[in-house]
Each structure stands twice: as structure tokens, then as C-alpha cells.
Structure 1
Amino acid sequence: MNIKMRIHAIWPAVLLAFAANAEVLLKDQSEILGSWNLYAESAKLDGEKKALSVEWDFKTDGVLNTKSIDTFGRTKTFEVALKYSVEDGMIRKQATPGREKYESCKVIEKSDSDMILKCTYLFFFLTKK
């Protein structure tokens, strides 16, 4: 097989790999508004996922209400309101409640019912409620 044939054979695989890791640029917050179930997190996109039970509710006023269910804890539920915005196609959200430190989350994949985010240290896997 000559070099030209090898390149043509490899090219579709390269394009597919690039498309799988391409980011989705959000136009505005309307694309994420509403309640999402955050069901898993992972350090790598294709790594082992840690199961979670968290609800993220993106509001029109720039508030992200988070509600986690802790079946082992004393409080059972933990709720926090964080500020967020959509800037440069990414979600910019408050990293810690009450502090003006923000992290940017890239949308790796998105459909009407599913979304994968890459934030500073973790990938988040969400399903629309």
C-alpha cells in the first residue's frame, strides 16, 4: 500500500476522532435553561464515572440552583444557588457559593436531552428532566 492510499484509509478515522472531541458552542443561555439531572462525573471523558444524584436548574436570571441528594449524610439534601452566564459559547459558573471565583465549562456534547460538560477538573454528564 503506498502512502497516498494509507492517508486516504486513515483520514476518516482522524475526522471521526476529531468530531467526537469537538466542542459545542452555546449561542446563549436558552440552550441550557431548565432542570438537568447530573448523574455522573469523571476525571476523563472515557474514564470511570462516579454516580451522582444532583439536580442543576438553570434559571433565566443567571442563577444555577443545585440540589444534591446525599443518601448517607445527615442533611439528606443540600441546596446551593450559584451565579452563571453563557460567554464565548461556554458556561461560566461560580465555583464556590459566596465567592466571586468562576470556572468555565465547555460543552463537549449536547442533544435535546443529554449534555456533557468539561469543567476545570471534571467532566459532568447530564440528562434533561
Structure 2
Amino acid sequence: MMKNYIEIIVLAASFFTLSANADVALKDNSEILGKWNLYAESAKLDGEKKAVTIEWDFQENGVLQTKATDTRGRTNEMNIAVKYSVAEGVIKKQSSPGREKYESCKVVEKNGPNMTLKCAYLFFFLTKI
């Protein structure tokens, strides 16, 4: 009897662990439209986060307007526009402006105003503005 309870607890724990790490499939860009504060990036989901000050504005016309603030650099602010779309549940965005090379970014977590993306090499942590 006790063995059955332990097996049920182990199964339940693994189910919740798997569901917590499941990607969120976007239906379309309406779920991400607007301005987001990208406040941190990391090589690992649970790794050390590097603080950044970047604003991402997902616009209806398929443009992701990025505004980065560099308080220590030569330029105070840098604005970059890249194309993006939502296809097959993920965000496909240009790797760099003017190039037709795209990277896929999966939504790892979307909870209220918070969203975590997994792009090619980094995790991005965002909050809706």
C-alpha cells in the first residue's frame, strides 16, 4: 500500500516538473504585441542573469523595434528595427537588420506580465510595460 502512494507521488512530481518546463505555443502575434522591458539575459534558464536595459516593441506590422540603453558606452541609446513573425507557435525574428537570416525564439514561460524566451544562444527575461 505504501509503495503505491510513493509511486503516485513520484508520478505527480514528474508530471508537474515536465509541465513547468513545457514551452508555450503562441497562436499569433496578438499575444506579444506591445512594449516589453527586457531586463535580463542568461545562457541557462536557471543560471546567473546579466542585467540589461532594453525595450522590445512588437508592432502589428511585423516589426520588432528594439531600444537599448547603454549607460557606460559612447552611445546613450541605440534603436534597431528587425522583422518578426509568429509561426508554428514560436517567434521568428531577424538575427540582424537587413539580413534574411532568422532565429526562432520559443516562449518558455508566459505568466501574467512576465515572459521568458529561449532564442538561439540565450534566454531573455521580459516584463510587459
TM-score by length of structure 1 reads 0.95
- Alignment of 1:69 with 2:88, yes or no, is no
**Separation (CA, whole Å) in 1 of partners of 2:5 and 2:35:** 49
List per-residue Cα deviations over 1:43-81 (Å, max 9, x = no partner): 111000000000000000000000000001111111100
Partner of 1:41: 41
Partner of 1:112: 112
- Alignment of 1:100 with 2:69, yes or no, is no
3-state SS of 2:47 partner:
coil
List per-residue Cα deviations over 1:76-95 (Å, max 9, x = no partner): 11110000000001000001
Q: Out of 105-114 and 51-60, give the one that drifted further.
A: 105-114
**5 Å matches for 1:1-129?**
4-129=4-129
Task: List runs of 5+ in structure 1 lacking aligned partners.
Answer: none
TM-score by length of structure 2 reads 0.95
Amino acid at match of 1:42: S
**Separation (CA, whole Å) in 2 of partners of 1:15 and 1:113:** 25
**Separation (CA, whole Å) in 1 of partners of 2:46 and 2:3:** 32
Query: What percentage of aligned pairs have identical amino acids?
Result: 60
Shift of 1:111: 2.5
* Structure 1: 4+ residue segments shifted above 6 A: none
**Separation (CA, whole Å) in 2 of partners of 1:27 and 1:10:** 33
3-state SS of 2:44 partner:
coil
Amino acid at match of 1:128: K
**Separation (CA, whole Å) in 2 of partners of 1:86 and 1:119:** 14
**Separation (CA, whole Å) in 1 of partners of 2:76 and 2:32:** 27
Task: List runs of 5+ in structure 2 lacking aligned partners.
Answer: none
**Separation (CA, whole Å) in 1 of partners of 2:3 and 2:92:** 45
Shift of 1:4: 3.9
